[in-house]
Chains A and B, each alone.
Chain A
Amino acid sequence: MSNAINLYGSTNGHSTMTGPVAEPRSYTGNPQKNSPALGATIAYMGVDGLLALLHGSQGCSTFIRLQLSRHFKEPIPLNSTALLEDTAIFGGWEHLKKGIAKAADKFQPRIIGVMSSGLTETFGDDMVSALASLRQERPDLIEKPVVLAKTPDYIGSLQEGYQRTVLALLDTLTVDPSPRESNTVALFPGAHFTPADVEELKDTVSLFGLTPLVLPDISTSLDGHFELEPAPVVQGGITLEDIRRIPGCIASFSFGPSMAVVGESLQKRHSVPHIAVPSLTGLEAVDTFYLKLCQLSGRPIPERLLRQRSRLLDTLADYHDQLGQKRIAIALESDLLISLANCLVEVGAVIQVALAATALHENVLPNFTFSSQYTVEVGDLEHLEERAPGSHLIIANSNARQAALPLKIPHLRAGLPVFDRAGMSQKVWIGYRGTQQFLYDCLNAMAG
């Protein structure tokens, strides 16, 4: 069965919680996966002055730019090493060197963020030696920060590419220990956080008297804003100086199961205690996080947040009947999928089907209180189409319109790409207020 890897197995050797999805088939139909290199691009977009460089064919970067542009409604500074037929024979090593040099000379970025592709990983280009060789030839580039993220397609979807890239950013750019800063914390938001989610997170953490350093910080780059002078590199995002301060933080928080490895890496290398936050949507999930912030800051939960909590409880009372026993079909990248599914079960809804884009690590689900009440399977949007009939609501990206429209099931847009609804970048689904908004969005979608 040649599709075993795709549907039932894990891509990295871990067992999964999947059950059989439907009749086995050897193709992926209406994929919900995006390429890992696309996830890498999102991560790079949260770093100020960066220019991303995809090591691959020209189409690889064109597709990513189009996909992210139509989602974020923003220009995406992503160049390519533009591999051609000769590289299939000779490899792309020289192209990578030329690409980095050209990007540095022409665009003068503060940082160059390279990601590999299925093509270059298949012929096994060694990016590290290419960079070393370039720096030998061009000593002026020795000081230019260059991040190398290995993101071949087979590692998963955008979530996995994003994770590897945040890890590469952290490991490459925080080589030296930095002085401890008493109130500074590092935050590693997952790939599913919108620019407004990240902003909400920063604001909330600040309410506890803590100073957040966010890697990556798309809240000031992909938020859709005007600069005095537009530039062909990332404008906004965390600065290189702030990234270098991260080893001096008193603690780090990772958001979403896939991001835990980033916090763990920081803990291992710089002894910064790491706290994994699996989800920030749903009452219990948010309670848990705020209590941790209390412990860390020595402050009580701010009055403003308690007020928001009280409003969320009132909403639960007002709408419990409309949410209770509603059957939800949901297909998303796994971090967001479990977060939203858990929140829905918490308020009495039923998960009819939960399809993750990629396989889950076996230790993920036990972190979620209600995960025993639904099964997470791995599947595409054609599986969603087969399994959604009878549900009251579909939660998936815009591409699921091909399933939702003929089935006449309300479709709440989430994940990526969302290109046919306005304001996705400004949507907040985290915290008490965000949880309330998420439930409102579900209710409004079902109301038609």
Chain B
Amino acid sequence: MKLPGLRQLTAFCLLWTASVQAEPLRLYIDADFSHGTQAADAIELGVRTALAESGNEVDGHSIEVRPIDHRGNVKRSLRTLQTYGSDPNALAVIGGVNSPPYLTNRRLINEEGWLMLLPWSAAGPITRSPESRENWIFRLSIDDTKSADFFVRRAIEVHDCKAPGLLLVDTGWGRVNRIALLERFSARSDMVPQVWTFPAAVGEAEAARIAGEIGAAGRDCLIMLASDNNGSLLVREMFRQNVSPRILSHWGITAGDFEKTVAHEIREEMRIEVLQTCALTAEQIRTVKVKRVLALAGQDQGGFQSLSDVPAMTGFVHAYDITRIFLAATGQAMQSPNWADADIHAKRRAVRGALENLQTPVDGILKTYRRPFRPFSQADADAHEALGGDDLCVAAYSASGHLVLPVAERGARPGQ
């Protein structure tokens, strides 16, 4: 029997497929563009800079960026992830500075096969998925399992803290770090730091109360995990109450306008150190590379002379580096003959496989990454971590508000 419509139908399907093929691949950015604008913008800048270097394409496939603001709201983040999940051209999501969305949604991410690249969020469990057989989350940032030891070591060994305290945001990120920090203190000393937690939306009254308690407790060092706004509030409140322990802050405060809301005199009084990866150090070593990247990144920003000029520098550096790795992995995945016919789920899977088995080194700002990720297993808990404890440094605020290497650290790599 002759089917006269079959030919037309086949032609339609081919045309449709071609049109789909013509669609650019998308890279979502799920970040808090409302409250952590600097961090989000820095990440986006890093991503776009990396993409720009490769002409916004991979092996002839154009790639576009779609940033979506989750406003620090876990549920908004989930909505973004769901949007990504249903987008037939979206390969991966670049995460923001906030860890809670990914801690909360980790299980769903891994179950749904959503490819997640985290340039800044630091909660340790995110990239470790005990409940899931597959792990779809890759990180190029500080891992709190490493940062906790870094903080404890620095407090004890560098600053000789005698009465440490922990000031932690009451989120999943804070709670994970609390456990890790206490564990590390317990491992390295007999000190049991006193712990204060505060809600993410802590108000002035609560901040005053906590500051009062800290003052009354007489802490000489305070390891603080906070966002820029609540960190700013707490620091100012402590300063107001003449409570001025040395503050070793996680980099959460660098995601916003901390340097603007907390005056330099306060920053100096509180002797604030901010956990960083060692970009600033790397800048000193990889001068050419960094300058080239900064030139590219600063085209629309009026130009950057140094990394310190880049707001939320950490996000920019990490986002640039992980985007570079993603592009390399995508390019590697595209080499597969099945790529063209694969659906988005298969493509994500292919990219994920390429990430875990990257064949070529990737030249980033922080370093040159040689197979940064490996297939995850409980035995290789750091398989999806591109950085390690050796990659951690601290920074301090300059009078102009830029993060700079502490005076004592300049010219030397951490641990060196």
Are these two chains actual partners, yes or no?
no
